[in-house]
Amino acid sequence: MTDGPLIVQSDKTLLLEVDHPRAAEARRAIAPFAELERAPEHVHTYRLTPLGLWNARAAGHDAEQVVSALMDYSRYPVPHPLLVDVAETMARYGRLQLVKHPTHGLVLQSLDRAVLTEVLRSKRTAGLLGERIDEDTVVVHPSERGHLKQVLVKLGWPAEDLAGYVDGEHHDITLTPDGWELRPYQEHAVESFWHGGSGVVVLPCGAGKTLVGAGAMAKSSTTTLILVTNTVSARQWKDELVRRTSLTEDEIGEYSGARKEIKPVTIATYQVLTTKRKGVYTHLELLDARDWGLVVYDEVHLLPAPIFRMTADLQARRRLGLTATLVREDGREDEVFSLIGPKRFDAPWKDIEAQGYIAPAECVEVRLTLPDGERMAYATTEPEDKYRLAASASGKNRVVEQILAKHPDDQALVIGQYIDQLHELAEHLDAPLITGETTVRERQRLFDAFRTGEIQHLVVSKVANFSIDLPEASVAIQVSGSFGSRQEEAQRLGRVMRPKHDGRTAHFYAVVARDTVDQDFAAHRQRFLAEQGYAYRIVDAEDLDDTLDAERAG
Amino acid sequence: MARPERSTSPSAGAAPVGSPGARSFSEALRDRDDAALVALLRARPDLASPSPSTIRSLAARATGRASVDRALAELDTFTLQVLEACAVRGADPHDRTPHTLDVSAVVGGLAPADDVPADDLARAASATAERLEALALVWDAAPPGAPADLRAAPGVLEFLGPYPAGFLAPEPATAPDGDLLAPLDDAPPGARAILDALTWGPPVGVAPRSEARAVAATGWLVTHGLLERLGGDDAGRVAVPAAVALSLRGGLTHRGVRPTPPVPDRAAHPAATVDAEAGRAAEEAVRLVTDLVRSWEQAPPVVLRTGGLGARDLRRLALRLDVDEATAAQVAELALAAELVADDGEVPASFVPTTLVDAWLADDVAGRWADLARAWLTSSRTPWVATTRDAAGTLRSALDPTHTAGWAARLRRTVLDAAASSSAPLAADDVQDVLAWATPRAVPPRDAVAGVWRGAELLGVVALGTLGGPGAALLAEADGGSGASADPVAALDAVLPPEVDDLLLQGDLTGIVPGRPTRDLARLLDDAASIESRGGALTVRFTLDSVTRALAAGSAGDADTLLAALGRHTRGPLPQPLEYLVRDAARRFGRVRVGAALSYVRVDDPALVASFLADPSLRATGLHQLGPTVLAAHVPAAELRTALASSGVSAALEDDEGRTVSTEADRPRTVPPGRRRGRSRYGPPTAAPASAPAERASRAAGLVAARAEAVVGELRSRDTLARAEAAWGRDGAVLAAPRPAAPPGPEPRGTTEPGDLLGLLHDAIAEQTLVSLETVDARGVPVTRTVRPLRLDGGRLRAVDPARDAELTVAVHRIARVVPVHRPAPTTASTEDA
């Protein structure tokens, strides 16, 4: 029994005591194969999952390394069945390989005949595989490369894809590092991706994922298709690429609801790709419009299901996924693994924050007691309307005002779900409002004004959740949200976590109505944020002034 | 009749010494010294009870079916192989001509398995042959001083199957007449293959009929004496004569022999790893039983009419314990075996925690585990049949009273001993293999072995296929050992991780105890948080529900007490969100309150309330104010009214509606069956002592030790007497019945002790001598005739009556008396005047 920082639980969670002198060392040792599940102040929880272990295998780690890392740092004897399970799970990856056969083209090759037999017997592989060339080799229909990989992951025998990629159409792209350069972890992420072929890079919001994309494009120097969540995001990618690379505006096309350009580098939205007319995806031709050498997926954790299906057909092209989290609310992590590729790079938020690349943030939940009249109204409301009623409690306006008064010099965003409430708030605060109805031009104008400091307060609906870049927002106030989604929380926090030029602490406030479902949803948020390691406090609205003043004084 | 004279020398020593023929089995037994006879009676206690009257009857009993069967049942595969070798290579037990077969010849016929060194095998085989001799399953027929003449005891061969060691018949060790296999050099094609197929047995095959070549080869082999055609029922079959098979085998009787049980080819786990797993399992088992008790004290499940636990209750239990149903059934059985729960005998009956539970719950993990493990080890229950289906497809319920077996405790012990003596980790199937090797004639059922094994794994008695430290201590304790090595409580304490009194509280409302929590801390967390994960550490989460639960239970006190209690176990300040949560819960919790009262007072005038509270004569009623005009009291309404009346207040009694009663539910408890009168229908809680076979044997032997010596002493004296009588009878022309005159007391007239009777018949068959046989016919009339016994089997005696020159068959149970006749009897001798 050593005095290690790690405790291995029978349920495959790993507890890492962060104040232990060997904690950093242990973290590095387990990071390749264990997923960080939560990172509160004292003990971080990692989890061993088959996908995590396969990710590690794909990155070249073997079971012995994993087992020895666990044993070396564990405080108590590691449960033996767990070690056996780790070894067995890892041994499942790569028993089957997808390779290019000189005469038969794409084939599935087995290093273990029994596995191949098991897989061939399965109903799920029917139609994906062609004739059996010999004992260990089966022809794969090239169009089914992605589907086959999906099925194999589901069967528990993930295949290693060694079949390579088409080169794609060459197009010169270089980075133009004038006064900036890739941060070391970004460089590392690009290298890891390129070395692995295809896969996902996990970086926190604000850590410069776009630059990793640009780096990968420079490395590839081919025509590139970039898939992003929405039009604003598409514009920002375009600006960033023009600024950071040798690409000019003319070389970059936008393929969205508004414009349909196909250029050597084309940025398309998920929405346009998934638009159906008479049951047919009308814009699929985009995928074959050019001989793309690289496909970049922004915000992989939001990738809609139809895109997975289309991606399954893109397996011969290099794919780079960018995301802040591999956690998907719909649990389709395994599809990301099989269709885009294994995780190639990951850096915990706090590590990057500690390196000073993202702003430290402080989270405060303000609990507002509803006046008696509203409480009575709440008690008698139909259950499906309760959240809306609680979330848009009128008292919140005053609380928001109070908070803003405490941050007279900060750029502040007020974020909410319900348009009525936001209109009211905007009026109350005398601040401009951005909703889904705001035109793209108007949005851009307001964002620019906010950036320059011309506007200090901005009220936004959930359209602002994704991929907008507001470098100077150092205070975010959430008045209502969509039922405590983890993703949303990560995005909102991301809004305020861009590095501040003066190194100020960012503030994230959530205003919550006490003793209502609003508070229950807030509990989810609190858990998520605390698990991410952010200081989290709960303050009563009545004590808000005192508390914030005391803090300022302290 | 050209038999040599009986070699038995009369004790007087006057008779001439007979020819130097082989000793009979009973003679060889008689020639043993007293110590050897005592050892025999100890090793085969069934021979000593009831006491045999003479050495002869001892010999008869030792070669009787029941006793031989019992002795063989305890032999392992290797010992049986050595015995087979002796049976095959030794002479017929009744043959009085001398042969030679010594231990080295027997050992020489055994070829070791590939991984067994020949030396080891030889050593083990010699020791085993000695043991078999001590057990009187093998004896040396050679008279003292002559070369060894080992033979299997009479009656043994019939237990070794139709083809002992794969031979057609025993093949006594004689010098072969030349090379039996020499003709094979000129054998036609296919002949060799036929022989090869039959060499190692079974030695009998169907003679080919259609294929010309094979028919020719068979014919050739028969002609040259390498095969023989069988007749009778086996017509159309051919067999390899034993001598030929032996030559074909190169003089071997057995191959691939291993003197030790099969060991799976697996690396042993370090003891520390095994103990860690054992500790983990033990802790988990205790937790499961504790949860079961807690769950059943809240909602006792109903006892089925058959006495078992209903399928739905089992499923509910499995859900609650978060295990599968088979495991839940095992856990319930553990609780039942330890008498922590029992059928309360009420109508309708429920399974309810017993009065033992509170003491058990108060004990620490190791103590609780030891209680469970001890009860399990000695339980006669067979829980593994629960949740399986019977032949009719009906699901067998858990806790069914019929799931008991007398051998269950012994089997547990046997299984654990197999694990203890194995050098490699075992799986249930390996244990089965080991047991099949150890007692091939009495292999326990596979499902029972697997069931016992699962039980041992659940308790952590075995972990990773190996007997762990706590399990070893449990066995040592059962064997009556003392000291630390036989204390399961201490042994488990030694392998459990150290207790930690440290709680790490975090902003996400989780708490982590980085080790095994102290009892105090565990209780606090059990009350105030929900458990998220267990293992080396304990992870808990505080939720509004869990904190409210703690406040409601009252054990944690109010918010401040709870926070203080948490603070005591935590370094540094409590996280602000947690503190907020506790206070918030307390704030919400207090909003609705419930209390107990037996009666109340309602008044219109608040001033009256004050006067009641101030009145000292009303103090005994426990009046207390609930609201401005409402008081509650701790006495029944009638009593309160009387008390008020005596204070001069006349109160109106309201009807019963609204009267509050105590909501405190009684925790049900029942008396454990062991402390009740009469027998429980779940069988006795403890069955046979679960000690090691060796230990068991020695304990049994201890009981009979004194007796064995006494028996041998009696035997000697009676034997001398009987033989003297026989000698006298022969010389004095008086036919002697081997009737003991001394210790056993007067014998009923006209009967002979059955053991003796069979012994005499066996001897007569072997020596082809005449006996006077008194039988009782169907009408109960005794008939005496002089006959020559031929065969004794299946409870029937075949004999020839020389006077009438006819064969007769008599059921043994009709034989009343047997008297050896040493000379041709002139008439049917009268035994009455003997």
Q: What is the pLDDT of residues A105-121, one digit of tens each?
A: 888 988 888 888 888 88
pLDDT tops 70 at residue A439: yes
Same domain, A403 and A519: yes
Separation CA B102–CA B83 (nearest Å): 13
Give me B219's structure tokens.
């014919």
Q: Yes or no: say if B389 and B395 are a contact pair by the CB < 8 Å rule.
A: yes
How high is the pLDDT of residue B739? 43
- Smallest Cβ–Cβ distance between B504 and the set A11, A43, A77 belongs to A43
Give me B795's structure tokens.
């409870």
How high is the pLDDT of residue B360? 92
B124-134 pLDDT, tens digit per residue, is 888 998 889 88
To which residue do tokens 């960018």 refer? A322
Of chain B, the percentage scoring pLDDT greater than 90 comes to 12
CA distances in angstroms from B389 to B301, B304, B314, B326, listed in the order given: 22, 17, 15, 12
Asked whether residue A526 is assigned to any structural domain, the reply reads: yes
How high is the pLDDT of residue B732? 43
How high is the pLDDT of residue B751? 46
B514-572 pLDDT, tens digit per residue, is 888 888 888 888 888 888 888 778 899 998 888 888 887 766 668 888 888 888 898 88
Q: Which of residues 36-95 of A touch B (CB under 8 A)?
A: 38, 40-43, 45, 74-77, 79-80
Separation CA B398–CA B400 (nearest Å): 5
Separation CA B448–CA B384 (nearest Å): 7
Asked whether residue A174 is assigned to any structural domain, the reply reads: no
How high is the pLDDT of residue B727? 61
Same domain, A277 and A303: yes
pLDDT tops 50 at residue A60: yes
pLDDT tops 70 at residue A488: no
B775-798 pLDDT, tens digit per residue, is 877 777 778 888 888 888 777 888
**Closest-CA residue of chain A to B507:** A530
How high is the pLDDT of residue A500? 61
Of chain A, the percentage scoring pLDDT greater than 90 comes to 10
Same domain, A461 and A397: yes
A106 Ramachandran zone, left/alpha/beta (phi>0; psi -120 to 50): beta
Q: Do B508 and A7 touch (CB under 8 A)?
A: no
A154-171 pLDDT, tens digit per residue, is 888 988 888 878 888 899
Strand (E) or helix (H) holding B436:
helix B428-438
How high is the pLDDT of residue A224? 92
Q: Yes or no: say if B686 and B373 are a contact pair by the CB < 8 Å rule.
A: no
pLDDT tops 90 at residue B368: yes
Report the helix count and the strand count for chain B, using DSSP H and E.
28, 25
Confidence label for B454 from pLDDT (cuts 50, 70 and 90): very high
Show residues of chain B in contact with A8, CB under 8 Å.
535-536
pLDDT tops 70 at residue B421: yes
The most confident of the ranges A274-283, B442-451, B452-461 is B452-461
Separation CA B382–CA B725 (nearest Å): 56
Structural domain of residue A394, as residue ranges? 359-553
Asked whether residue A168 is assigned to any structural domain, the reply reads: no
How high is the pLDDT of residue B694? 56
Asked whether residue A505 is assigned to any structural domain, the reply reads: yes
Show residues of chain A in contact with B508, CB under 8 Å.
38, 40, 526-527, 530-531, 536
Same domain, A405 and A461: yes
**Closest-CA residue of chain B to A75:** B536
- Smallest Cβ–Cβ distance between B512 and the set A43, A535, A538 belongs to A43
Same domain, A209 and A338: yes
pLDDT tops 60 at residue B745: no
ipTM of the complex in this document: 0.78
Mutation for B interface: A42, A369, A521, A528, most B CBs within 10 A: A42
Do you know the residue count of chain B? Answer: 834
How high is the pLDDT of residue B282? 93
Confidence label for B374 from pLDDT (cuts 50, 70 and 90): very high
* pLDDT-wise least confident of A371-375, B640-644, B684-688: B684-688
pLDDT tops 60 at residue B690: no
Q: Which of residues 293-322 of A touch B (CB under 8 A)?
A: none
For residues B774 and B353, which has the higher predicted lDDT (pLDDT)?
Answer: B353
Q: Considering only CA atoms, which of B479, B337, B345, B474 is closest in space to residue B398?
A: B337
Separation CA A492–CA A490 (nearest Å): 6
Q: Considering only CA atoms, which of B402, B392, B384 is closest in space to residue B304?
A: B402
**Closest-CA residue of chain B to A45:** B539
pLDDT tops 80 at residue B675: no
Distance from CA of A498 to the nearest CA of B (A): 24
Confidence label for B665 from pLDDT (cuts 50, 70 and 90): very low
Asked whether residue A179 is assigned to any structural domain, the reply reads: no
Confidence label for B456 from pLDDT (cuts 50, 70 and 90): very high
Mean pLDDT along residues B39-46: 87
How high is the pLDDT of residue B314? 93
Q: Yes or no: say if A295 and A227 are a contact pair by the CB < 8 Å rule.
A: yes
Contacts of B168 (CB under 8 A, 6+ apart): B203, B204, B239, B240, B241, B242, B245
Separation CA A410–CA A495 (nearest Å): 14
pLDDT tops 80 at residue B20: no
Q: Do A77 and B276 touch (CB under 8 A)?
A: yes
Q: Yes or no: say if B572 and B504 are a contact pair by the CB < 8 Å rule.
A: no
Give the CATH number, domain containing residue A492: 3.40.50.300
CA distances in angstroms from B681 to A217, B329, B451, B678, B686, listed in the order given: 79, 18, 22, 9, 13
Q: Do A537 and B577 touch (CB under 8 A)?
A: yes
pLDDT tops 70 at residue B660: no
Same domain, A128 and A194: no
Give me B108's structure tokens.
């020489």
Distance from CA of A360 to the nearest CA of B (A): 16
Same domain, A339 and A407: no
Q: Do B508 and A8 touch (CB under 8 A)?
A: no
Residue A544's DSSP bridge partners are none
Separation CA B327–CA B318 (nearest Å): 8
Confirm or reject contact between A7 and chain B (CB < 8 A). yes
How high is the pLDDT of residue A359? 63
Q: Yes or no: say if B641 and B653 are a contact pair by the CB < 8 Å rule.
A: yes
Q: In Å, how far from its chain's centre is CA B733?
A: 56
Give me B580's structure tokens.
């907020």
Show residues of chain B in contact with A45, CB under 8 Å.
539
Q: Yes or no: say if A447 and A455 are a contact pair by the CB < 8 Å rule.
A: no
B339 Ramachandran zone, left/alpha/beta (phi>0; psi -120 to 50): left
Question: CA dihedral in degrees (A132, A134, A140, A145; nearest 10)?
Answer: 130
- As a whole number of angstroms, the longest Cα–Cα distance in chain B is 133
**Closest-CA residue of chain A to B273:** A77
pLDDT tops 50 at residue B733: no
Confirm or reject contact between A535 and chain B (CB < 8 A). yes
- Smallest Cβ–Cβ distance between B537 and the set A15, A41, A515 belongs to A15
Separation CA A542–CA A549 (nearest Å): 13
Q: Considering only CA atoms, which of A344, A349, A351, A354 is closest in space to residue A32?
A: A344
Q: Which of A353, A372, A396 is the last residue of a domain?
A: A353
Same domain, A205 and A318: yes
Confidence label for B656 from pLDDT (cuts 50, 70 and 90): low
Q: Do B539 and A13 touch (CB under 8 A)?
A: yes
Asked whether residue A195 is assigned to any structural domain, the reply reads: yes
Asked whether residue A325 is assigned to any structural domain, the reply reads: yes
Give strand ranges (E) for A96-255.
Answer: 96-101, 105-110, 129-134, 137-140, 159-161, 199-202, 224-228, 252-255
How high is the pLDDT of residue A501? 62
To which residue do tokens 């392998």 refer? B495
Show residues of chain B in contact with A75, CB under 8 Å.
514-515, 536
Confidence label for B688 from pLDDT (cuts 50, 70 and 90): very low
Q: Angle at CA B57, nearest 5°, toward B51 and B62? A: 85
Q: Do B508 and A38 touch (CB under 8 A)?
A: yes
Quickly count: other Cβ atoms within 10 Å of residue B794's Cβ: 9
pLDDT tops 50 at residue B664: no
Do you know the residue count of chain A? Answer: 554
Same domain, A241 and A271: yes
**SS in 3 state form for A507-549?**
EEEEEEECCCHHHHHHHHHHHHHHHCCCEEEEEEHHHHHHHHH
- Smallest Cβ–Cβ distance between A8 and the set B506, B536, B575 belongs to B536
Average pLDDT, chain A: 83
CA distances in angstroms from B586 to A385, B386, B547, B568, listed in the order given: 28, 46, 8, 20
Same domain, A191 and A215: yes
* pLDDT-wise least confident of B222-226, B498-502, B763-767: B763-767
* Single-letter code of the amino acid located at A496: V
Separation CA B385–CA B387 (nearest Å): 6
Show residues of chain A in contact with B516, CB under 8 Å.
none
Residue B783's DSSP bridge partners are B775
How high is the pLDDT of residue B16? 36
Same domain, A260 and A312: yes
Mean pLDDT along residues A506-528: 83
B570-616 pLDDT, tens digit per residue, is 888 888 889 988 888 888 876 777 778 888 888 888 888 888 888 88
- Round to the nearest angstrom and report the end-to-end CA distance of chain A: 44
Q: Considering only CA atoms, which of B372, B368, B129 is closest in space to residue B253?
A: B129
Same domain, A299 and A340: yes
To which residue do tokens 């449990």 refer? B474
The most confident of the ranges A225-234, B409-418, B755-764 is B409-418
Task: Count the domains in chain A.
Answer: 4
Q: Do A79 and B504 touch (CB under 8 A)?
A: no
Asked whether residue A173 is assigned to any structural domain, the reply reads: no
